[in-house]
Every structure is written in structure tokens, then in C-alpha cells.
Amino acid sequence: MINLRQNKAFALTFSLIFLFFIISFMAVYILVVANGVAEANRTANLKKAYYIADAGLADAYERITLDGINTVPSSTPGNPYIPSASTDNGKYTVGNVTGNYTVNVVYSNVPRSNYTITSTGTYGNVSKTLQLKMIGAAISKFAYWSQTESNPAFGGALWWVGEPGLEMLTTGPVQTNGQLNIFGNPIFDGLVTESAANPNYYPGVASNPSIIFPQGLDNNAPAIDLPAQATLGAIQSVASDGSGLVLTGASTVIFNPSGTITVTGTVKNSSGAVTATYNNTTMNPPTNGVIYVQSNKGQTDGNVTVQGTVKGQLTVAADQNINVSGSVAYNTDPRKNPASTDLLGLVANQNITVIEASAPAQLEMSAVMVALQGSFQVDQWWVYKGNATTAVMDQFGSLINYVCGATGEMDWSGNLLGGWNQIQAYDTRLETLAPPGFPPYVNNAGDAVYNKVSIMEL
């Protein structure tokens, strides 16, 4: 006999169990969906927080660059750079996305002007922190720069020469606000930009532009101006801060391979009184590595003569001219040892001039050379030093001169008649490195130019 009561109890129990599983499944499903939605919202909010933090980096980067050569002091988490009463509230709004960022800045001048910017972006209850490290570019970012390639003092146009046995080679980025004068096939192994519509080729047509400009040539490029007085004034300020050396009147600085310098010159205080006199005196270089030679009041005698082998990092700048009486080399050549930290800056308000009579036929010029209102030149460029193989100027580093100067003379057949066959090579360390005291490079708008070293999420 079938027990209906028993069967009904079984069916009811089974139904309850089934209902329990359905409800449990639905609860788990709802919980999973809710967690998924919450996680999706959190992921979306984290992305928004990331973009808000990135906006904080962009804000600080723009403010710092707009300050030109002026430095922005370091801030602290308790007193952030942004927000502050003098800037804004650090709010970021795009469409319906509104959040806030807090930015802190740490400044250092080692090895040169650089900043670490840390930005925390917050959206809702989530935050992201990003960090940007950037270092100031310097005018040494160019392998070669000039305002013009024509110099009346040397008869007008100065020529880049490329003939068998007399090949001029230049590596690294080149910029001229003038027009390049090309004879034969000199080689520019780097991007070249000039403000002119085309180079001036001799005898009127290019022989082989693909050989001359293997990395390309940009014509009609915007002029890039150098802030001459700002650059010189910034270096002078560093030399005058108590850890540099300021000499007054005609001076001499010899670089010794031991790392010392031999100095002839006079130190005067702000009243013009002599406080120290050096006569072929060997000493340690100034702590900050910056030497400045100024003119006596009312005179134009702020000239310095240099030569020797540099160990360490130094900058020598002058109110007027720098004369080079012999080779200038690095104790450890970075072309042979990339770990080398030896670096020299030579900055003249007027000219940097090689003294032919005392310079060797095989001449080395390793430095960042800057002639703000003059040129890099040889005083007697017409004097025969040897042929294109025996009279070679190895110019390594960077050459920035307002007007192109003469370093040698050739005939129209490409024979070297006087001076040196100049071979220029860019010191690639200068992409992120600059000699002591060099201010950040400032563009035509007065904004500082920085290289972004790294960006990371913390």
C-alpha cells in the first residue's frame, strides 16, 4: 500500500532542499555580481585616480618649465607644492570626473638641476601615486649650434668640407639659425636642422645629400636662440656662492691629470680690494667646480687662458674671451671608458680661440665649448700645421658658437693649406649631463627645457 502522507513529507523535504539550493545559488550569484560591480567600479575609479595623478604631474611640470632658469624649491608632504594658497586647490575635472591631486617636489642641483615630482591623485575613496624624475637640458644638448654660418672677419661664408683626404665628420644633433655652406661631401652623422630653405652648396648643387646627411636634414626649421646673458649670469652666480672661484682680470688655468689646477690670477672682493694673488699656484679646484673670470671695473680684461688634462668636472667661464694654448683632454676618455665622469665646460662671452703658435699639430679639444656672442676659432688659421692627416683637431663634446669661426684653410681642390682638419664628435653623455653650473636650457619663449628621465607608479 502506498503511504501518501509519507510521500508528501518526502516531496516537501525535497522541495525545501531544492529551494534552499536555489536561494543559496541566487545569493552567491548576487554576491558575485555585486563584488564584480564593486571591483569594476574600483578598477574604474583607480584608472580615474591614475589620470588625476598624471594631471598633477603635468601641472607641476608646466609650472617648473615656465619658471625658466629659476629653480622651484623643494616641498614637503605637510606643505605640498600643489595645492597651495598661491597656486590652486589641486582639483581635476574632465566631464563628470572630478578629483583632487596633491603634488610634492624635491629639487637637487646634483649632478645638475633636476626634480623628483610625486603626485597622488584621489577619486572617491581610492588613490594612485605617480612619480616623475626630470633633469634640466642644457645648451650642450647640441653637438653644434650657430646663429649664422657667415663671418665677415674670415671673409664671409665658412665652409664644411668633404673631399678625399679632407673629410669633415660631425656626429650628434646640429642646429643653425643660418645657412650651412657645403663643399663636397662632409658627413653630418646626426639630425641636422637649419633655418634656411636649403644649404649653400658649392658650386651650386649638392653632390650627394644622402651621404652628407645620413640622419636627415630639416630645412626652414624654427630658429633656436640662446639666452646669452642669462647663461653667463647664472654661471657667475654659482661661482660667486662661496664654493666657486672668481678671478679678476687676465688669468690662466692649467688642468692637471692629478685633478688639481694651476692658477695665475687675482681675487678681488666686491669693493675691488685684492684678497688673494696666485702666481702659477697649484691647488685643488673649487668645491662646486666653477671658475669665473671677470673684468676689472670699467675694463674688458676678463680673459682666461686654459689647457691641460681634466680629471673631475669643471667649468671655466669668462666675461670676455677664453684662449686655448694647447690640447684640452680628459684624464679618462669616455669614448674608451663609458664610466668616465670627467667633464669640462668652457663658456666665453665673446670668443674661444686656439693659439696656433703654442698648439700641437695633433690637437685635442674635449669640452663643452660655448662662445655666446663670438665664435670658436684659430687665431692664425692660415699657418700651415701639416696636411689633412697630420694636422687634425679632435673636437669632442659640444660646440655652441654664435657665429661660425675658422679653424683651417683649404683650396678649391680640398687641400689643407693652413690650420687643422677639424673632426667633431658629440659626447652622448650630454643628452642628460652638463658641466657644473650650467643653467637649464631655456627656449625662445623663456621656458626651461627638461629631459624626462623616468615615470613610475609608486
How many C-beta atoms surround the C-beta of residue 91 within 10 A? Answer: 12
CA distance 55 to 78: 20
CB 309 within 8 A of CB 329: yes
39, 90: one domain: yes
- For the chain, give me the number of helices (H) and strands (E)? 3, 33
197, 116: one domain: no
Answer yes or no: is 160 within a domain.
yes
156, 128: one domain: no
Kindly report the pTM of this predicted structure.
0.79
CB 421 within 8 A of CB 390: no
CA distance 179 to 395: 22
Low-confidence ranges of the chain (pLDDT < 70): 1-16, 18, 20-21, 24-40, 85-89, 92-95, 111, 163-168, 206-207
CB 334 within 8 A of CB 428: no
DSSP 220-273: SPPP----HHHHHHHHHHHHTSSSSEEEEEEEEEEE-TTS-EEEEEEEE-TTS-
Answer yes or no: is 444 within a domain.
no
- Nearest to residue 422, comparing CAs of 168, 159, 164? 168
Query: Helix (H, G, I), strand (E, B), or coil: what is residue 151?
Result: strand
pLDDT at residue 74, as a whole number: 92
190, 115: one domain: no
Q: Is 106 exposed, middle or buried (0-12, 13-18, 19+ CB in 10 A)?
A: middle
124, 180: one domain: no
pLDDT at residue 27, as a whole number: 61
247, 294: one domain: yes
- Nearest to residue 395, comparing CAs of 159, 157, 169? 169
CA distance 221 to 219: 5
Answer yes or no: is 446 within a domain.
no
9, 25: one domain: yes
Total count of domains within the chain: 2
Answer yes or no: is 433 within a domain.
yes
pLDDT single digits (tens) 298-346: 899 999 999 999 999 999 999 999 999 999 999 999 999 999 999 999 9
Distances (CA, A) of 344 to 137, 141, 170, 183: 16, 14, 20, 31
- DSSP tag of 360: -
The H-or-E segment that residue 161 falls in is strand 160-163
377, 426: one domain: yes
CA distance 405 to 379: 10
CA distance 434 to 452: 15
Answer yes or no: is 253 within a domain.
yes
172, 310: one domain: yes
132, 148: one domain: no
Answer yes or no: is 445 within a domain.
no
Domain containing residue 413:
139-439
Answer yes or no: is 447 within a domain.
no
246, 378: one domain: yes
pLDDT at residue 175, as a whole number: 93
Query: Helix (H, G, I), strand (E, B), or coil: what is residue 169?
Result: strand
User: How open is the CA angle 335-338-138, to the nearest 5 degrees?
Assistant: 85
117, 157: one domain: no
Answer yes or no: is 85 within a domain.
yes
CA distance 142 to 212: 18
